[in-house]
């Protein structure tokens, strides 16, 4: 059981492979890329303990010489300090041009490993082996790589596409339920921004998906990746269309930041951001109250938060100002028009404050 999606970017095109048992197939799947034998595999202690043995075996069987290096588990791994340690690991492992850096883990590991791959020797091949649902449907695809600045998330980064993505659905079996739900927030996002039929499919199947049903998960991951691949192929560097992927993220990032990155994880914050965006669109009469209720119900059934936390205007402003979506004091926000269609609009802070106070 496996499928694949192509991200069409000319000579930088690549495949996203998705299915069961794929980590054990990684060595074979990556062989056509003709990479050098030494490679650096970046993971964290939690994920490496679970999945490094099978990945190592699969790579060695196909002639690679993989070197495992660990970053801390948690958002703090996305730092210039950790990136500097990874450059040292590249030197120690003899990672030269023609070799690859592989990220085995969630979005945190993928973002920092990708940042190092984009900059080591001015850029070497990068392979994503995402092990969270959020990374499989979003973070591993599309080439956004970054570390955080002490004053804001993802402020230091690049667009740097992977050479391949291998999403092994078996890894989701060990994912804590809270992380699974966080990934489903991004999944629901795809339904709202691009595919009403997919949204309906989620409404019909969410309980079964939450049980970890592999067949349904494969369909879900492939559909999300196909939507993202199409958007990234049309607007790789987020000049316009790609910004719709940020649905729920503008205010989501603020909820995340104000909560000190511990109250809400990324997916939970995005769920709240989607609720806020839907509420704002209903107030503007550009989204029907019935469809807004359908979105809130689906998020709730998924076990995601939907009650917007009250935020002080000052705290919101501070969080938003560091966000790359502010333009001349107004927030560039994605709001729904109907399920399956969104638009990008500028919103004054005075319009946002009543939603969260
Ligand atoms: P994460 O990488 O922190 O992983 C979540 C937790 O799950 C971690 O504790 C991790 O160790 C654990 N874990 C991972 N895989 C596991 C498995 N198979 N079994 C058991 N535990 C496992 O978080 P995430 O939600 O994957 O990613 C969030 C990060 O991704 C944020 O930093 C966010 O900014 C970034 N992101 C990037 C993009 C992009 O386009 N580059 C898109 C969305 C999010
Ligand atoms: N996660 C948003 C993007 O990749 O553009």
The rounded distance, in Å, linking the Cα atoms of 162 and 177 is 28
Enumerate the domain spans of the chain.
2-174, 177-355
pLDDT given at position 322: 67
Residue among 196, 181, 354, 187 at smallest CA distance from 287: 196
User: Ligand 2 centre and the CA of 207: distance in Å?
Assistant: 26
Percent of the chain with pLDDT over 90: 84
The rounded distance, in Å, linking the Cα atoms of 57 and 79 is 30
pLDDT given at position 124: 98
Low-confidence ranges of the chain (pLDDT < 50): none
CATH of domain 2-174: 3.40.50.1970
Could you please state the CATH topology (level 3) that the domain comprising 177-355 is classified under.
Dehydroquinate synthase-like, alpha domain (1.20.1090)
User: Ligand 2 centre and the CA of 226: distance in Å?
Assistant: 14
User: Known catalytic residue: 122?
Assistant: yes
Q: pLDDT digits over 23-55, tens only?
A: 999 999 999 999 999 999 999 999 999 999 999
From the CB of 46, is ligand 1 less than 6 Å away?
A: yes
The rounded distance, in Å, linking the Cα atoms of 344 and 27 is 41
The active-site residue, picked from 78, 181, 189, 266, is: 266
pLDDT given at position 1: 63
User: Known catalytic residue: 246?
Assistant: yes
pLDDT given at position 67: 98
From the CB of 23, is ligand 1 less than 6 Å away?
A: no
Residue owning tokens 């990708």: 114
The ligand placed nearest to the CA atom of residue 179 is 1
**Residue with the nearest Cα to atom 3 of ligand 2?**
245
pLDDT given at position 325: 61
User: Known catalytic residue: 266?
Assistant: yes
User: Ligand 2 centre and the CA of 79: distance in Å?
Assistant: 19
User: Known catalytic residue: 67?
Assistant: no
pLDDT given at position 329: 74
Strand partners, 15: 6, 164
From the CB of 143, is ligand 1 less than 6 Å away?
A: no
Sign of the dihedral defined by the CA atoms of residues 305, 306, 310, 313, in that order: positive
User: Known catalytic residue: 186?
Assistant: yes
């Amino acid at each position: 059981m496996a499928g694949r999606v192509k991200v069409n970017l000319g000579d930088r095109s690549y495949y996203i492979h998705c299915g069961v048992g794929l980590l054990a197939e990684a060595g074979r799947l990556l062989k056509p890329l003709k990479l050098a034998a030494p490679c650096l595999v970046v993971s964290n202690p939690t994920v490496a303990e679970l999945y490094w043995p099978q990945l190592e075996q699969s790579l060695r069987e196909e002639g690679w010489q993989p070197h495992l290096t660990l970053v801390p588990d948690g958002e703090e791994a996305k730092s210039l300090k950790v990136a500097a340690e990874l450059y040292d690991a590249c030197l120690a492992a003899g990672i030269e041009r023609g070799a690859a850096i592989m990220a085995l883990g969630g979005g945190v590991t993928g973002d920092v490993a990708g940042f190092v791959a984009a900059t080591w020797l001015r850029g070497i091949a990068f392979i994503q082996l995402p092990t969270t649902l959020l990374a499989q449907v979003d973070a591993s695809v599309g080439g956004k790589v970054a570390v955080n600045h002490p004053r804001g998330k993802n402020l230091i980064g690049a667009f740097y596409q992977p050479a391949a993505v291998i999403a092994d659905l078996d890894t989701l079996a060990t994912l804590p339920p809270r992380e699974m739900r966080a990934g489903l927030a991004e999944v629901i996002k795809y339904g709202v921004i691009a595919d009403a039929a997919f949204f309906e499919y989620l409404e019909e199947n969410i309980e079964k998906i939450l049980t970890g049903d592999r067949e349904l998960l494969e369909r879900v991951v492939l559909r999300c990746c196909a939507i993202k691949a199409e958007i990234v192929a049309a607007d790789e560097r987020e000049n316009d269309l790609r910004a719709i992927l940020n649905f729920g993220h503008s205010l989501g990032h603020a909820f995340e930041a104000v909560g000190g990155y511990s109250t809400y994880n990324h997916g939970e914050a995005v769920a709240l951001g989607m609720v806020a965006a839907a509420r704002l669109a209903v107030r503007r009469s550009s989204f029907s109250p019935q469809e807004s209720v359908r979105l809130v119900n689906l998020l709730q059934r998924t076990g995601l938060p939907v009650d917007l936390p009250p935020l002080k205007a000052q705290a919101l402003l501070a969080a938003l100002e560091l966000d790359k979506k502010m333009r001349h004091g107004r927030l560039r926000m994605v709001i729904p028009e109907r399920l399956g269609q969104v638009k990008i609009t500028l919103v004054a802070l005075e319009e946002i404050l009543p939603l969260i106070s």
